[in-house]
Amino acid sequence: MRSMREVQIISGKNRMDYIATALRSRNRVPLIIAGLLAALVISFSYVSCGGGGGSSGGSSATSGFAATTNPAISVTADAAILTGLVNPYGLTATAYFQWGLTTSYGSTTTAQTVISGTGNTAISATLNGLALNTVYNFRMAATNTDGATYGVNRSFTTLATNPWQVEVIDTNASGGFLPSSVAVDSNNKVHISFTRYPSFDLMYATNLTGSWVITPVDTTGIVNSCSIAIDSNNKVHISYEDANVYDLKYATNASGSWQITSVDLDVDVGTDNSIAIDSADKIHISYKDNNTLNYATNAGGSWQLAVIDSSAQLGSFSSIAIDSADKVHIGYEGGDVSFNSYLKYATNAGGSWAYTDIDAAVGAGWYISLAIDSADKIHISYTTNSSGTGYLNYMTNASGGWVKTVVDNSAYTGGYSSIGIDSNDKIHISYYHSSQYRLKYANNVSGSWQTVVVDDTATVGAYSSIAIDSNNKVHISYADGSNSAIKYATNK
């Protein structure tokens, strides 16, 4: 492959002699930029645009146009992050990775635009759904109006085993399961509430004794939704809707046996409830009452009820959390008279309840989950329901104002999202990819978002719920629709 020949500066008085000599040469093409005192002559040859490295182009304008392949990072059993650099050298470029089982590649990542400049721009792309213990080849690639450039080939090998351990908690041959909710106690034992279908019984499962034990909590009603939390004494508290009488109910084993209380007896209440516990082990529940966002607490000793937001069609997908000052924060779906949905947030951190719209995009505000970090900053996962896109979104005010990030832009993903925060304030999200019927998981532990498939053995992943233990290990409960089962996955 031929390369750049030379760059020469010729004085004005010798310019014509040089041109005559250059024109007789078979391997030079001179370009003369005349000046009053000097001329710049640039000689070049075209370079090949194929092969496993180097750059291509047709002029010296792209002589610095380069792609660099860096090593893959965060390699797991079924995923990896490809990394590289692109120097656009003054022209806007399109960057992507070529990858596959051989150096013929066969697959490319989504193209990314690199704005014109003369410095390196970092590029990364996440690969999911990879095979176990398999070698993959990849390289950085970029194109602009003058040609293409490729980095060298690199390879990585996926792990031989999947770090996720999956268990079946309960099966129901006569039906299936509805929402589940998971929590972890101070001993890192797991507690799960869920609903059996079609009996609509409220069930409770725990591995407290080392193996899974399942207990019916309420078999008298029709339980549509439930939420679980653990207090400082490792006692269990569950909020749920009894759709038989449309009441908000609450169950706890704090006394040693299960006790059930009807918290709100109004008509059509308790849908999309969420429970949280403060530092004094008092209970706080957010829920929907017809088309309003409601809140219940026993912080004063007896149950007190309040309507937080009645501005429009709202209250669905509520999620509640308590900060270090025992102030309440709720994420929920807002709406208008035309039933357009959006993401809303309410808090009493200022002393009285205040609420605001934080994502007014069409269809925003579905499958909301809210968590609070050690600095009392808010983190929310949710999806959209606009034109079937269903992207997994993440919203936070960690930097001061609300900032939105699309974590997974695969179509029809983000359903049943659930968010957790570890001891390093890193974010973990479980969610359902409905078009591929799989349970997925995302985190930003490495500094950038990574997504992996946890379980794709059947129609799995609906009703996912996540909890993080004291060792920063992840615990997820979810439904298996194909096998009528409640399942549990962990990476501990």
CATH number of the domain at 215, please: 2.120.10.10
Cβ contact 441:452 at 8 Å: yes
Q: How confident is the model at residue 386 (pLDDT cuts 50, 70, 90)?
A: low
What's residue 146's pLDDT? 85
* Dihedral angle, C-alpha 456, 461, 462, 464, nearest 10 °: 180
| Domains contained in the chain, number | 3
- As given in the structure block, the two tokens for residue 293 are 């966002």
For residue 25, is pLDDT > 70? no
What's residue 36's pLDDT? 32
Q: How confident is the model at residue 114 (pLDDT cuts 50, 70, 90)?
A: very high
Q: How confident is the model at residue 291 (pLDDT cuts 50, 70, 90)?
A: confident
Give pTM, 2 decimals: 0.74
**CATH number of the domain within which 126 lies:** 2.60.40.10
- CB-based contacts of 440, cutoff 8 Å, min separation 6: 408, 413, 430, 431, 432, 433, 451, 452, 453, 454, 461
335 and 448 share a domain? yes
27 and 117 share a domain? no
| Residue labelled with tokens 């006569």 | 174
Question: Is 35 within the bounds of a domain?
Answer: yes
274 and 391 share a domain? yes
Q: How confident is the model at residue 388 (pLDDT cuts 50, 70, 90)?
A: low
For residue 139, is pLDDT > 50? yes
d(CA 451, CA 126): 7
Q: What is the DSSP letter of 109?
A: P
Pairing, β 135-144 against β 147-150: antiparallel
Q: Which of 55-64, 196-205, 402-411 has the lowest mean pLDDT?
A: 55-64
For 181-209, write each residue's pLDDT tens digit: 999 999 999 999 999 988 899 999 999 99
Q: How confident is the model at residue 155 (pLDDT cuts 50, 70, 90)?
A: very high
Q: Give the DSSP H/E element, type plus range, for residue 20.
A: helix 15-24
What's residue 338's pLDDT? 65
112 and 258 share a domain? no
Q: Which range marks the domain in which residue 38 is found? A: 6-43
237 and 355 share a domain? yes
Mean pLDDT value of segment 121-143: 92
39 and 69 share a domain? no
For residue 20, is pLDDT > 50? no
